[in-house]
Chain A
């Protein structure tokens, strides 16, 4: 990376394992000879990821490849199993109370499900106003005006603030979720499939809202999607994941013009360009392997048309491939 400023958000060799330990009954069964063992899902495997101030980065990969897990770790919802998340060049774990809270609040998340992401027992004004009040961004006297202002910013009528979430449409609910995040003055938003659950007609509006807010509040985004066409038009840079690892990262136009990694090439060949939307691109021959038992070496080798002997033995590392370009493939070494 040539940029002089440190990344706003950085994942440093971040790993997340979900362990499903055997319970007592299963352990007893194993003693009697049953073929059972602790299951470990390698959801995210030593991922390096950087997002610079002002950037919009699209994080793309098939369902189950660990995008949400990365997003949650960056947003501080899940602790990494290994590695660390750094904010403004400083590891979150190295921060003290005050500083840590400020950094945590500066990174907010917009969720996929506009229904599960809002507390059904709270009124909109409380959903939006709770955190700024608790953290002292606003006092009780100023709260109503503060909430009104934010609702207007996201295109919601403040007159509706005494309603409950179920009284809104999906698009409006997503706006409420955005308002809730904005209320703590974040600098970075992780949008996890934030428009995937919405009607096509509304998706564009919400995308436009994100882009407007970016200008107004100087926001930096990590846009997570399983659909390349969603992030294509808004991202400065695209990061491609496969089975828990980053395989390629490059500026959007350059990536679309000449993808370097065989997986990205396959994705682009499969994904119909321009406005023929494919909701779930189903690329490439073969099944996606299970993260319970990922293939050895390069995770992509069972499906890769260029696979060599080395590919099943050695993990290819993410290496620079030119300006702001990185890829992990033995062909490119």
Chain B
């Protein structure tokens, strides 16, 4: 079929073959949408992000305004009415804060730390990985030894040691998460850049005397982006759960800015006294967030993986 098409002598200008002019992006969107679950999860992620951004507008109460919080509302079960007359959908915690509001604010902190650390780590990893692949030789060797070394330790261990050394707080948690993550990006970027740089379009760019910077940024980078996006999504979920773990262990966030992990931790002491909701609902929120992001990431991997794509 193809051969017949080209066999037609020099084409007449203006006479366009009936072939859908779809950009790679359009093709990507239609491939992605073939999984309804992934689409649902994508919208869930968008909703979660919107929830985090507009937390003050959406949350029924402001859980950090101490003037509004009263111990009289302590450990109210879901559905009960608080002192100020509002119904608490998911119950209240041990200090009388509305749990739904705490979760929405906690989501905000968890997402900020998770996404923030992922973005910075991605930027560092992309630069390091591209330089390693393109420079090759000794520089590549040194960089990759460091990456290997870092990846041979469990992430949680490195983060724990860092936080024990640095102390608690949002900024320190962010630093710990960046340190833990950059190497994954560097390795992924280097691996795909090594494959891409051997391809003939890169040789052609050399042959056309294009500058190294141009080849790196305009030719290599766009072609190694796909696997980075996949790693980025999965790493974000990973960072969020890592932060939750650290906060649960009392090492991550301060009590004044509780993330979902801190909320689970706070509620844990009540679990045996029957006030299950204080710990369980933040846990459910965390689980939904992580699962949704991971499903989107998996779908991205399937769609962007050239070996599986049609």
Contact = CB atoms under 8 A, between A and B. Distances in A.
Interface of A: 72, 75-77, 101, 104-105, 107-109, 111-113, 116-121, 130-131, 134-135, 152, 155-160, 162-164, 166-167, 169-172, 177, 180, 184, 199, 201-202, 205
Contact of B16 (A121, A157, A166): A157
A131 B206 CA distance: 10
A199 B3 contact: yes
Contact of B204 (A111, A156, A164): A111
Given A111-B200, A157-B13, A159-B14, A205 B6 contact: yes
B201 interface: yes
B237 to A, nearest CB: 27
B214 A170 contact: no
Contacts of B2: 169-171, 199
B21 A156 contact: no
Contacts of B274: none
Nearest to A155: B10
Given A157-B15, A159-B14, 4 more contacts: A109-B207, A116-B199, A171-B2, A199-B2
A109 B201 CA distance: 11
B13 A117 contact: no
B209 interface: yes
Given A109-B203, A111-B200, A130 B23 contact: no
A166 B10 CA distance: 20
Contacts of B19: 167
B203 A72 contact: yes
B6 A169 contact: yes
B29 interface: no
Contact of A202 (B3, B21, B24, B207): B3
Nearest to A114: B200
A291 B15 CA distance: 51
Given A134-B210, A159-B13, A121 B3 contact: no
Interface in B3-28: 3, 5-7, 10-17, 19, 21, 23-24
Contacts of B17: 160
Nearest to B14: A159
Contacts, number: 99
A72 B203 CA distance: 9
B208 interface: yes
B4 to A, nearest CB: 9
A77 B6 contact: no
B154 interface: no
A160 B16 contact: yes
Contact of A130 (B12, B14, B210): B210
Contacts of A134: 210-211, 214
B13 A164 contact: no
B170 to A, nearest CB: 37
B219 interface: yes
Given A119-B201, A162-B21, A201 B207 contact: no
Contact of A118 (B3, B201, B218): B201
A119 B206 CA distance: 13
Nearest to A165: B201
21 contacts: A72-B203, A101-B209, A109-B203, A111-B200, A111-B204, A116-B201, A119-B201, A119-B205, A119-B219, A121-B223, A135-B209, A152-B13, A155-B10, A156-B11, A164-B24, A166-B24, A167-B21, A177-B204, A180-B208, A199-B2, A202-B6
Contacts of A118: 201
Contacts of A119: 201, 205, 219, 222-223
Given A119-B223, A120-B24, A152-B13, A105 B6 contact: no
B21 A163 contact: yes
A172 B21 contact: no
Contact of B209 (A104, A199, A201): A104
Given A121-B222, A152-B13, A159-B13, A171 B201 contact: no
A107 B203 CA distance: 13
Contacts of A205: 6-7
A189 B14 CA distance: 30
Interface string B196-240: 000111011111111100100011001100000000000000000
B186 to A, nearest CB: 19
B201 A105 contact: no
Nearest to A123: B23
A205 B8 CA distance: 10
B209 A105 contact: yes
A172 B21 CA distance: 16
Contacts of A105: 208-209
Contacts of B203: 72, 77, 109, 111
Nearest to B306: A120
Nearest to A160: B16
A48 B66 CA distance: 86
Interface string B34-58: 0000000000000000000000000
